[in-house]
Structure 1
């Protein structure tokens, strides 16, 4: 059955009847009759019943309207589409496209309108181009006649002081451009959510997992190519391509990304090029002594910026700054000006902001696990990721290059990298394994003590095979009961997070919230050790939560969830990206989309059928 509907008339009538709270969505919080009559082309009446089906109708009307149509031909099969099928289809055919961006003329319009530019004092948006990228400089210079942008060339040597000087004129950093049919185009990338217009570090890896699940390997490959551009031109994979991130990297997933792309494309020359760049990143970003490499042979995050982070929301640091401003009998704004311009010294704040920026580099911004001490910690997950680099280098060189690879006048052997991986594994187990608790924890290389904070990251050694069988068994038996909740694995235990009050607010990476990257790594880790039942249970819990909330809340796929209550209603800093939209979700959220597609690729068919039964109208009226 197909309904030919006049879009504006039907939308108005549907919203007047069913959208009782006026947010231009249809959810379980609306108090309408939850039934709406449609008429087929043969004038046959059909009643659309229930929150889920009505919200699907609303979404299909909006999609048709966004396509510039006056009328919509909507089949009943899309209105009454089983939820797992619909969520997956929307991600594959609609959301990924909504989240795809380009750093070329087609993307400039979004950048100019970006709300993050509201603090700009300059009339034109600065676009910063690497010192040695002549093509990009010429390209953006030519666009200045059409758009309010200003192209600026970065210096050859980018220092923390220089990056701080850009705080008064923050801008976007160019990414890779290429020629296509004699036209310059930006190499595409996927952003975390609809309000973002820049490429983020570790988000990109997890998004790529979903893209590969959806047979969009070219887009995943493009993300890797932009990673390569960032390393070659900015010296690291950036937190994101904005000027204030030039001193800050992100969790290292580069080798995992190129391996998974190569598994599909089998492009050996492409892989060899990226291996050279990945080894360069490993050596220059992570293995420089006194920076991100610590005395014990393990690694830490260390954002190398200076002063207050410019991207923080106004008032974010007021509680920290107010006592110092009061001592000088000045306003917080006056104190910030003096501190940022080196008119006063404050060693406490210097240390505080060192750790604060480093928290943001870690990707876990923010969490009481690492607040105030992040640069002092050998985080277990970081060292797991670098073990993965070393073992990936070893595997690829042994399997594809006969055990020896010549790159840029250097010869690397698989045996060399195998020894490095073996040594790191030993160090992780020496410093981060707590035999008494049977858990992996972070190690403070300053106090020389293990952290007592229990986090979802305790499972990451399973993801790449570091844990022994007995350690894996201990994690399943001892950590899983502490962290498993109704909707999946929480970011931390409640006890580790500690008391929450007015002076100690929620942190978004802690209990009760759960995040897609943790779940995806945990699923793979459990499957690596044949804990199939436990993996299936966790996947089901997570997908049940996503599906239930999408059914109840107009298809919403947000940034994160409260996994204790299994709800998208998250009460912590920054809110919940992806919940603020009208009619139809604007792309969902990147790694949440990916977790759904990855999860359904792993979950047993019988469990998927159970999720499709969540549309029973009796449950959603």
Structure 2
């Protein structure tokens, strides 16, 4: 019996379960695996819910299996941190050779982030690969690339995570960077030609809507500015509450303006930054979220890298027209990144507000991407480095923004991906002392929390290194895939 389902298949039951708060974590019901055919469950629910003494929780527990997160990462023995991570790779390994509930099928084993996250996540997997490289787990690196390729070939893109309710959005497109990392590890030049078709398909997904788009308009993930230049934005195909945060979205929607609130929320999730003052029109409140009005510096830098990789993979196959086409697109995008995202006054990269035709006021750590990928000139890099040193670097690592709002992608939290981006960016432009400081501040924070708790966390408090990070829609998780990966990689550099 195939147990795969989409949330809308059980919409009435799902709606009642989430609103009744049977589970403390709204993700529980999205991860449930039906024990009977969905049609049968729905029919029974419709019939039984009207009867006297009906117990909703009992009904749900009888008709669904809650496999939940299986990872328990705290041990009696207190291993050195690197040994702990080596054991974690096995504990965080999963397979999904068949569909179960909302979980998508994948051809290869994979690593999950940990905690409540027991599925394959897109951009997390790149930072996990950094650690797998250090651990010599090349096969698992190849598995991650294969799984991404499978999803792109079968769905057209890599979903946010491998569940049916994430089929309306992706995450930051790191597939081409995964290929670079695998090539660096194996020195196998055929990697690029092997996945050329996959790269093209992912590019088509992000550029879908560019044909026929008029100036000063947006279609899906494509934006054409007043000047007629093409940029990209994060976007979600659905405008409805997120199943995994159902009640939160409904509550926030009540005091929000505009009819695209849910899509703005979901589009921010495609960035991986859920949530941050970066997305808020007033810089403070989630009700003012306007992700759809922004073209983002990180996304456009990643798509430049995808264009460059496509040009390279075309050249390797003597596809001269394609090589030229993608090289020209990348060259144009490089110009646009400087034109639309570089703030000459503040000496930092920012996002671009499509409607206002101006840069957004939010100062955030995604400004590192042009340095991470070598797109900034030396003067721009100096400006960013100064900003990073003065506004973003604290005792416990790099924070994501300069604002404290209670959102988890704001001050005071330090997230693993940006420690790696910060370290690499500074190294790229010769700011070696600053690179070392970023590395040492964050790694010592990770070690201190591990010493005190026996856990590796999803995020860390960069300001108060006596406490554990907080904020956001759920408690701080342990495990944790990208922390493990970045810590190992930084220790080796």
Gap change, CA 1:354 and 1:424, over 3 Å in 2: same
Larger Rg: 1
Offset of residue 396 of structure 1: 4.6
* Distance in 2 (alpha carbons) for counterparts of 1:535 and 1:268: 30
Offset of residue 571 of structure 1: 2.9
Offset of residue 391 of structure 1: 2.1
SS at match of 1:301: coil
Contact 2:157–2:201 at 8 Å: present in 1 too? no
Match of 1:389 in 2: 306
SS at match of 1:173: coil
Determine which of 457, 468, 483 is the counterpart of 1:592.
483
Match of 2:232 in 1: 299
Contact 2:131–2:486 at 8 Å: present in 1 too? yes
Offset of residue 458 of structure 1: 1.2
Contact 1:456–1:518 at 8 Å: present in 2 too? yes
Offset of residue 230 of structure 1: 0.7
Match of 1:585 in 2: none
1:182-203 residue CA offsets vs partner (Å, 9 max, x unmatched): xxxxx11111114322101111
SS at match of 1:252: coil
Match of 1:175 in 2: 106
Q: 1:352-391 maps to which residues of 2 (within 5 A)?
A: 352-371=261-280, 372-391=289-308
1:538-588 residue CA offsets vs partner (Å, 9 max, x unmatched): 1000101011111122x2111001111125522312344435xxxxxxxx2
Q: 1:23-422 maps to which residues of 2 (within 5 A)?
A: 59-60=75-76, 86-92=80-86, 94-104=87-97, 127=99, 171-176=102-107, 187-289=108-210, 290-295=219-224, 296-321=229-254, 348=257, 350-371=259-280, 372-398=289-315, 400-401=316-317, 404-405=318-319, 412-413=322-323, 415-422=324-331
Match of 2:407 in 1: 507
TM-score, with normalisation over the residues of structure 1? Answer: 0.62
Match of 1:559 in 2: 458
> Does the alignment pair 1:486 with 2:400?
no
Offset of residue 283 of structure 1: 2.0
* Distance in 2 (alpha carbons) for counterparts of 1:268 and 1:425: 25
Gap change, CA 1:509 and 1:567, over 3 Å in 2: farther
Match of 1:32 in 2: none
Match of 1:123 in 2: none
TM-score, with normalisation over the residues of structure 2? Answer: 0.77
Contact 2:350–2:360 at 8 Å: present in 1 too? yes
Gap change, CA 1:552 and 1:259, over 3 Å in 2: same
* Distance in 2 (alpha carbons) for counterparts of 1:537 and 1:397: 39
Offset of residue 318 of structure 1: 1.5
Gaps of 5+ in 1: 1-57, 62-78, 106-126, 128-148, 150-169, 177-186, 325-347, 501-505, 580-587, 603-621
1:166-224 residue CA offsets vs partner (Å, 9 max, x unmatched): xxxx7222222xxxxxxxxxx11111114322101111111111111211111011111
* Distance in 2 (alpha carbons) for counterparts of 1:455 and 1:362: 13
Greater mean alpha carbon deviation, residues 477-486 or residues 527-536: 477-486
Gap change, CA 1:277 and 1:315, over 3 Å in 2: closer
* Distance in 2 (alpha carbons) for counterparts of 1:513 and 1:101: 28
Give the count of matched residue pairs.
Answer: 400
Gaps of 5+ in 2: 1-73, 211-218, 281-288
Match of 1:35 in 2: none
Contact 1:561–1:567 at 8 Å: present in 2 too? no
